[in-house]
Amino acid sequence: MNPQKMMQQAQMAQQKLREEISKIKVEASTGGGMVTVSMDGNKSLLDVKIDPDAVEDVEMLQDMIRGAVNEAAKRVDEESQRKVSGLLGGMGLPPGLF
């Protein structure tokens, strides 16, 4: 394969991947839904919903927020990996480029 063509394909794949990852939106909750967070593919926190009953115990609330954010970040990683695998599988690029 022509190295220049391969680089063009790699650049196109990177751009497509960035676009696909930016579209990712995940949600995670803890405490039986007392805390729910939404996160985008860049791991920016989009929304935090807290049930008013969760505010009574600050330490527990902090733990639930931390747990929900960590779970959302894990889901973004998983979804990103699925998109990378799907995109690279269809591109025919050699392994290890990304």
**pLDDT of the chain along its 98 residues, tens only?**
688 888 888 888 888 888 989 999 999 999 999 999 999 999 999 999 999 999 999 999 999 999 999 999 999 999 999 988 877 666 555 555 54
Q: Structural domain of residue 46, as residue ranges? A: 42-88
Residue 90: predicted pLDDT:
61
pLDDT attached to residue 8: 87
Number of domains into which the chain is organized: 1
pLDDT at position 53 is 93
Is the dihedral angle over the CA atoms 25, 48, 30, 60 positive or is it negative?
A: positive
Cα separation of 40 and 67, whole Å? 17
Q: Is residue 3 part of a domain?
A: no
Instruction: Determine, yes or no, domain membership for 21.
Output: no
Residue 63 lies in a domain: yes
For 28-48, give the DSSP string: EEETTTTEEEEEETT--EEEE
Position 49 in a domain: yes
In this structure, is residue 46 part of a structural domain?
Answer: yes
